[in-house]
Amino acid sequence: MMPTPLFYQTHLPMHLSRKLLLLLALWCGGVAQAVAQEYNWQATVPAPAQSGYHSILLSPEITGQLQQDLADIRLYDAAGTEVPYLLRTEEPVQYRKLFRPYKIVSYTHRAGCCSELIITNQEQQKINNISLLIRNADVQKQVALSGSDNQQDWYVLKAKDLLYAIENTQGTTEVKLLNFPLNDYKYLRLVLNDSSSAPLNIINAGYYDTHPESGKYTLIPQQGFSRTDSAATKKTYLRLQFPQPVYPERLEFEINSPALYYRPARLLTKTESSTGRRRGLFRKQKRRLQQSATSLPFTLSSNTPATVELPRRQVEELVIEIDNADNPPLDVAAVKAYQLNRYLVANLEAGKPYTLQFGDEKATAPTYELQHFRADIPTDAPVLEAGGTTALQAAAKSTKKPASKILIWVALAIILAGLGWMTVRLLNEMKKP
């Protein structure tokens, strides 16, 4: 009988071994991933009073434990199921367009002739357009515009213009803009030709004003605030200490005196400032702070608000250096630090508790399909404030991580042992006649 070829003697065991090694490798990777996705902190979210989208305000205590892009935070329901969310951040300044109506003095109609709309520019601002809010109508109208200061003597501004088809598919009204030469007449008269159709239903007339609005900020709690005036360097040093890492984005100074001041200043961190001995500075200790190009210069002036916008970065303390030159030191009563409000916007169920888990430098940002529906999610959703942070079983984590690492090493040892066994077996089979 012919001997069984070596291939058939070893094919089945090697095939099974490879499957075993593959399973071990996958298990090892799963263990490593489990170690990498551990969050260090959690916070409770109050149960909403009604179902729907809510904005969960992230406190400085929460954001201070996060990565700069807030990638390492997750929202869970009571069953431990991950809840998708949108991340929204306030802008320092937002520009909104507001419709400001003019007072309509009269709107009269003459059958088979025309309609006459008179509005008043009470403050006699210089204007060159009017926005008309009109009920939908599939029609075109010829219009003429004139101005007056007494409603008796009228002067032409535009002899002829045309209002095209007025139809808004998304609503029952439409805004139409009429442009004309710049003027400051107290009264404006708009005459519409109604000879071939009924009058238009003009609801309002006015203009759009761009209105700046400041974003909403949250005060960052401080652990300590100290001030030191150095006669030797002619400088004042202010030190803000925080109980944990934070991301300050605005400083507001409370300066009592003098009434008039103009002082160059700059913001320092632990990696900034100059070297040397400064007597009386921070408990008269010698401090070494290296020069850095990232120091932030600014000016404190009595002619402008005592507010400084900061680049967003994580700190545990801030040091501010004020150059007094030959002037008396500023009487700075306090310096308040703020961060822009940041929210997780999620669809929550009424009466259900939720929790946040966060704080993992290795975590990556989640990918939720909600990002494709930003325009459909309300921007004025009710706000819920997350509670204080608590550590996620710090003692258990300290023992869990080494145990997980041991499991990984055991898996690697088994894989190496399997490879060694396969090699020895193959060599033995090859030695057989």
Name beta bridge partners: 55: 345, 383
Residue 214, pLDDT score? 80
Q: What is the pTM of this model?
A: 0.63
The count of residues in the chain is: 433
Interval 218-226 mean pLDDT: 95
Phi, psi of 387, rounded to the nearest 5 degrees: -75, -175
Report residue 280's pLDDT band, with 50, 70 and 90 as the boundaries: very low
Interval 232-256 mean pLDDT: 95
- The helix (H) or strand (E) run that includes residue 188 is strand 187-193
Residue 162, pLDDT score? 87
> Regarding predicted confidence, which is higher, 16 or 109?
109
Residue 238, pLDDT score? 96
**Mean pLDDT over each residue of the chain, to the nearest integer:** 82
Residue 221, pLDDT score? 95
Does 140 score more than 90 pLDDT? no
Phi, psi of 284, rounded to the nearest 5 degrees: 55, 25
Calculate the CA 117 to chain-centre distance.
45
Interval 282-292 mean pLDDT: 41
**In whole angstroms, how far apart are CA 209 and each of 61, 114, 118, 125, 133?**
38, 30, 21, 13, 15
Interval 219-242 mean pLDDT: 95
Residue 389, pLDDT score? 87
CB 376 within 8 A of CB 290: no
Residue 157, pLDDT score? 94
Residue 112, pLDDT score? 86
Interval 79-101 mean pLDDT: 87
Residue 252, pLDDT score? 96
Report residue 37's pLDDT band, with 50, 70 and 90 as the boundaries: low
pLDDT tens track for 380-396: 899 999 988 899 865 34
Does 254 score more than 80 pLDDT? yes
Does 234 score more than 50 pLDDT? yes
Q: DSSP label at 270?
A: T
Residue 242, pLDDT score? 95
With vertex at residue 392, the alpha carbon angle to CA 389 and CA 394, rounded to the nearest 5 degrees, is 120
Report residue 156's pLDDT band, with 50, 70 and 90 as the boundaries: very high
Give the CA count within 13 Å in the CB-facing half-sphere of 32.
Answer: 11
Does 288 score more than 90 pLDDT? no
Report residue 398's pLDDT band, with 50, 70 and 90 as the boundaries: very low
Distance CA 247, CA 367 (A): 24
Phi, psi of 136, rounded to the nearest 5 degrees: -55, 140
Residue 298, pLDDT score? 95
pLDDT tens track for 170-194: 788 888 888 899 999 999 999 999 9
pLDDT tens track for 47-80: 999 999 999 999 999 999 999 999 999 999 999 9
